[in-house]
C-alpha cells in the first residue's frame, strides 16, 4: 500500500470513530471538514517513514502514531485560525472551520480532535501497552505545556519572547514528536531521533517563512504576510531572502547527517532529500527576485 | 491524609509539572488560575471514594485519575466561558480566564489542560500500564466525540436536540468517568460502575437547574439564569420547582441502590447520602418559595 493511502485510511478510520452513533451532526461534520483535504500530511509521513526505517513491527501502533500527530496538527490549525488568534478566513483553500461552521463549533472541533489523538493511541495499546503509553507521553510533551505547540503559541502573548524556546515549541515540537513516535512505534528508543525531528522542523519553519514572504494568498491557500502583520519572528526578516535560502540548505544537510543508524537509513535519507527537492521551486522563486 | 488534601496535592503537582522550565509565563500562570480555588472537586472526590471503596491498591493511579478528571472539568469551564459560548465574566467568584488573561490564553489554557489530563494518566502507567491505558480510554470517551462533554456542548449548536444524549454527554459523562475510573484505578471492571456515575450526574444536573432557577449571582459565583437565556433544556422549566426537587430525591435514592458490591460499599453509600444532604438547603429554599 502506498504511504499516502495507508495514512489517509488511518486518519479516516479515526474520524469515523469520533463521528459514530448518536452525536451532534454539525460537530461530527466539522471533524471531517477540519481534517480534509489533507495537504501534504507531512508529520504522519515522517512518522511512518521513520517507523518503516526501523522495521515497523507493530503497524497498528505506527498508524495510530501517524494519525494522532495529524489530528493534533489539524486541531492546532482550527484553534489558530480563530478570531482571537489569526482570524483566518481561509485554510487549505477553503473557509476556515469557524467561518464554515461557527466559532463554538471550531473550539469544540479542536478540543475533540485533541482528545481523539490520545484515544487513537490508547486504542492501539493491545499491540503493546508500554509502547502506546510512551507514544502518549511523547505526544503530550510536544503538544501541551511547558514545551509543546500550546506553549509555542503561548509565547506570542509574552512581552519578551525566548526565540529559541518559541521556535522549538511552535514548529519544532510536532516534528520531533513525528520522528520519535515513528521510532517508538517500531520499538526503538526515542532519544536518538530528536535531532532529526528538530532539524526538519527548523527547515519547515524557514521554508514557511520564505513562502509567507514570497507567495501570494492564492498560492498559499491562506492569507499571506501574516507573520509581519502579527509581529511574529521570521527568518526572512532576520536573514533576508538569500540568507534564509542558505539556512534552509544547511539545515537539510544537517538533518540527513543526523539520521540514526537503522535498517532503513538510506531510504530515510532519500525521503529527506526528496523533501528538500520539493522546497527547490521555492528557492528558485527566491533567487529569481 | 484527608481526601481533600490528597486530591489538592495531586492536582497541584500536575499543574507545577505543566508550568516547569522555560515556558511562557502568562500561560503558565493561567493554568494555575484556571484550576484554583477548586470549588468542591466533586468529580475527583467521587473517583477517589470509589477507588478507596475498591481497595485503592495503586494509589498513584487513583491520584492520576482524580487529577485528570478535574483538569478536563476545568478545561471545559474555561472554554465554556469564552465569548462565543456563555461569555461569562465571572467563574468561581473571580474573573473568568479570558477576562483575567485574554481570549487567546483562555483557548490555550483549555487546550493545555486537556493534554495535561492525558499526560498525567500516562505518567502513572509504570504502576500498571494496562490500567493506565483503560483509564485513558474511559476519559477520552467521556470527554470527546461522539459521547463526551464536547459532544454535549456540540448538541447546543443543533436545531433539534436529542435530550437524553445531550444530558448524558454534557453533565453525565464526567460523572460516569469518575466512578468508572475510580474502579479501574483499583483494578475493578468499569461496566458495573456506570449506573452510579450516571445517576450522580443526573442528580447534579437537576440540582444545578434548581440553583440556576432559585439563587442569584452572588450565591452562585457565576451569572444566574443562563439556561433560560441560552435556551438550554432545564429540569425546573420542564417539571416546576417541586417536581424537580422530587426528581432529585428519587435519583439519589436510585444512586445508592446502584452501588456495586465492594469492600467499601457502606462507606460509599454514606458519601452519596452526605452529598444528598449538602443539597438539602437548596431543597428547603425551593420549598420556602
Quick one: average pLDDT of A257-274? 91
Peptide bond into A37 cis (omega under 30): yes
* Residue in B21, B119, B136 closest to A122 by CB: B136
A63-77, B42-56, B243-257, range with the lowest pLDDT: B243-257
Chain B contact probe: residue of A17, A21, A23, A149 with most B CBs at under 10 A: A23
Per-residue pLDDT, B128: 94
| A156–B102 C-beta distance less than 8 A | no
Residues of B in contact with A143 (CB under 8 A): 115
* Residue in B23, B101, B155 closest to A24 by CB: B155
Residues of B in contact with A75 (CB under 8 A): 111
Closest-CA residue of chain A to B131: A129
* Residue in A75, A110, A136 closest to B122 by CB: A136
* Residue in B75, B111, B154 closest to A79 by CB: B111
At B61, which helix (H) or strand (E)?
helix B59-80
Residues A172 and A148: their CA atoms lie apart, in Å, by 9
Per-residue pLDDT, A271: 85
Residues of B in contact with A108 (CB under 8 A): 79, 150, 153-154
Closest-CA residue of chain B to A87: B104
Quick one: average pLDDT of A40-59? 96
Per-residue pLDDT, A205: 85
- Kindly write down the DSSP assignment for every residue of A191-215, as one continuous string: GGGHHHHHHHHHHHHHHHHHHHHHS
Quick one: average pLDDT of B221-235? 64
**Per-residue pLDDT at B197 exceeds 60:** yes
Residues A76 and A139: their CA atoms lie apart, in Å, by 13
CA distances from A288 to A241, A249, A285, B66 (A): 11, 17, 5, 59
Closest approach of B233 to chain A, Cα-based (Å): 16
Residue A123 touches partner B, C-beta closer than 8 Å: yes
Quick one: average pLDDT of B205-227? 73
Closest approach of A277 to chain B, Cα-based (Å): 35
Quick one: average pLDDT of A161-182? 92
pLDDT in tens, B156-176: 999 998 888 898 899 899 999
CA angle centred on A178, ends A279 and A236, rounded to 5°: 35
Residue B232 pLDDT class (50, 70, 90 cuts): low
| B111–A114 C-beta distance less than 8 A | yes
Residues of B in contact with A150 (CB under 8 A): 27, 108, 111-112, 115
| A130–B133 C-beta distance less than 8 A | no
Per-residue pLDDT, B118: 98
Residues of A in contact with B130 (CB under 8 A): 125, 129
Quick one: average pLDDT of B229-235? 67
Chain A contact probe: residue of B80, B85, B111 with most A CBs at under 10 A: B111
**DSSP letter assigned to residue B171:** I
Residues of B in contact with A128 (CB under 8 A): none
**Per-residue pLDDT at B44 exceeds 60:** yes
Containing structural domain, residue B43: 3-288
**Per-residue pLDDT at B289 exceeds 60:** no
- Are B182 and B174 in contact by the 8 Å Cβ rule? The answer is no
Q: Comparing A6 with A220, which gets the higher pLDDT?
A: A6
Residue A227 pLDDT class (50, 70, 90 cuts): low
Quick one: average pLDDT of A201-213? 86
Residue A27 touches partner B, C-beta closer than 8 Å: yes
Per-residue pLDDT, B79: 98
Quick one: average pLDDT of B24-42? 95
**Per-residue pLDDT at B229 exceeds 60:** no
| A153–B108 C-beta distance less than 8 A | yes
Closest approach of B282 to chain A, Cα-based (Å): 32
Chain B contact probe: residue of A15, A118, A131, A167 with most B CBs at under 10 A: A118
Per-residue pLDDT, B125: 95
Per-residue pLDDT, A220: 61
**Per-residue pLDDT at B25 exceeds 80:** yes
Residue A208 pLDDT class (50, 70, 90 cuts): confident
Residue A81 φ/ψ, nearest 5 degrees: -80, -10
* Residue in A26, A125, A154 closest to B24 by CB: A154
Say which CATH number the domain at A279 has: 1.10.600.10
pLDDT in tens, A148-166: 999 999 999 999 988 888 9
Residue A286 pLDDT class (50, 70, 90 cuts): low
For the four alpha carbons of B258, B263, B266 and B271, in that order, the dihedral sign comes to: negative
Per-residue pLDDT, A186: 98
Residue B72 pLDDT class (50, 70, 90 cuts): very high
Per-residue pLDDT, B265: 94
Residue B35 touches partner A, C-beta closer than 8 Å: no
Cβ-count burial A114-140 (b if 16+ within 10 Å, e if not): bbbbbbbbbbbbebbbebbbbbbbbbb
Packing angle, helices B59-80 and B129-143, rounded to 10: 20
Residue A223 pLDDT class (50, 70, 90 cuts): low
**Per-residue pLDDT at B264 exceeds 60:** yes
A95-104, A240-249, B228-237, range with the lowest pLDDT: B228-237
Domain count of chain B?
Answer: 1
Residue B258 pLDDT class (50, 70, 90 cuts): very high
Closest approach of B113 to chain A, Cα-based (Å): 8
- Are B61 and B135 in contact by the 8 Å Cβ rule? The answer is yes
Residue A16 pLDDT class (50, 70, 90 cuts): very high
Residues B245 and B267: their CA atoms lie apart, in Å, by 25
Q: Return mean pLDDT, chain A.
A: 91
User: For residue B150, how many C-alpha atoms fall within 13 Å in the half-sphere facing its CB?
Assistant: 33
Residue A127 touches partner B, C-beta closer than 8 Å: no
Closest approach of A191 to chain B, Cα-based (Å): 18
Q: Which of residues 7-26 of A touch B (CB under 8 A)?
A: 18-26
Per-residue pLDDT, A198: 95
CA distances from B37 to A24, A130, A154, B93, B114 (A): 33, 35, 23, 9, 18
Q: Which of residues 138-177 of B touch A (CB under 8 A)?
A: 140-141, 143-148, 150-151, 153-158, 162, 165
Per-residue pLDDT, A78: 98
Q: Which of residues 39-98 of A touch B (CB under 8 A)?
A: 75, 79, 82, 84-85
Gyration radius (Cα) of chain A, Å:
18
Per-residue pLDDT, A263: 93
- Are B100 and B91 in contact by the 8 Å Cβ rule? The answer is no
pLDDT in tens, A107-133: 999 999 999 999 999 999 998 999 999
Residue B32 pLDDT class (50, 70, 90 cuts): very high
Per-residue pLDDT, B238: 85
Amino acid at each position: 500500500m502506498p504511504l499516502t493511502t495507508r495514512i489517509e485510511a488511518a486518519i479516516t478510520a479515526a474520524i469515523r470513530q469520533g463521528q459514530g452513533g448518536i452525536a451532534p451532526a454539525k460537530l461530527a461534520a466539522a471533524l471531517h471538514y477540519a481534517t480534509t483535504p489533507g495537504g501534504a500530511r507531512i508529520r504522519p509521513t515522517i512518522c511512518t517513514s521513520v517507523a518503516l526505517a526501523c522495521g515497523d513491527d507493530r503497524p497498528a501502533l505506527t498508524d495510530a502514531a501517524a494519525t494522532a500527530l495529524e489530528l493534533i496538527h489539524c486541531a492546532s490549525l482550527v484553534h489558530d485560525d480563530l478570531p482571537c488568534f489569526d482570524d483566518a478566513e481561509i485554510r487549505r483553500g477553503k473557509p476556515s472551520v469557524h467561518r464554515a461552521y461557527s466559532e463554538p463549533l471550531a473550539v469544540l472541533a479542536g478540543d475533540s480532535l485533541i482528545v481523539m489523538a490520545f484515544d487513537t493511541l490508547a486504542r492501539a495499546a493491545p499491540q503493546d501497552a508500554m509502547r502506546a503509553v510512551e507514544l502518549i507521553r511523547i505526544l503530550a510533551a510536544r503538544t501541551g505545556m511547558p514545551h509543546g505547540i500550546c506553549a509555542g503559541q503561548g509565547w506570542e502573548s509574552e512581552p519578551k519572547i525566548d526565540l529559541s524556546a518559541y521556535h522549538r515549541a511552535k514548529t519544532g515540537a510536532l516534528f520531533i514528536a513525528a520522528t520519535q513516535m515513528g521510532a517508538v512505534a517500531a520499538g526503538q528508543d526515542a532519544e536518538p531521533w530528536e535531532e532529526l525531528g528538530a532539524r526538519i522542523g527548523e527547515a519547515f519553519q524557514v521554508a514557511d517563512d520564505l513562502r509567507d514572504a514570497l507567495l501570494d494568498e492564492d498560492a498559499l491557500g491562506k492569507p499571506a504576510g501574516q507573520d509581519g502583520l502579527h509581529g511574529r519572528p521570521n527568518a526572512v526578516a532576520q536573514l533576508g531572502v538569500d540568507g534564509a535560502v542558505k539556512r534552509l540548505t544547511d539545515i537539510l544537510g544537517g538533518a540527513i547527517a543526523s539520521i540514526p543508524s537503522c535498517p532503513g537509513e538510506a531510504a530515510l535519507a532519500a525521503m529527506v532529500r526528496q523533501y528538500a527537492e520539493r522546497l527547490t521551486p521555492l528557492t528558485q522563486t527566491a533567487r529569481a527576485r
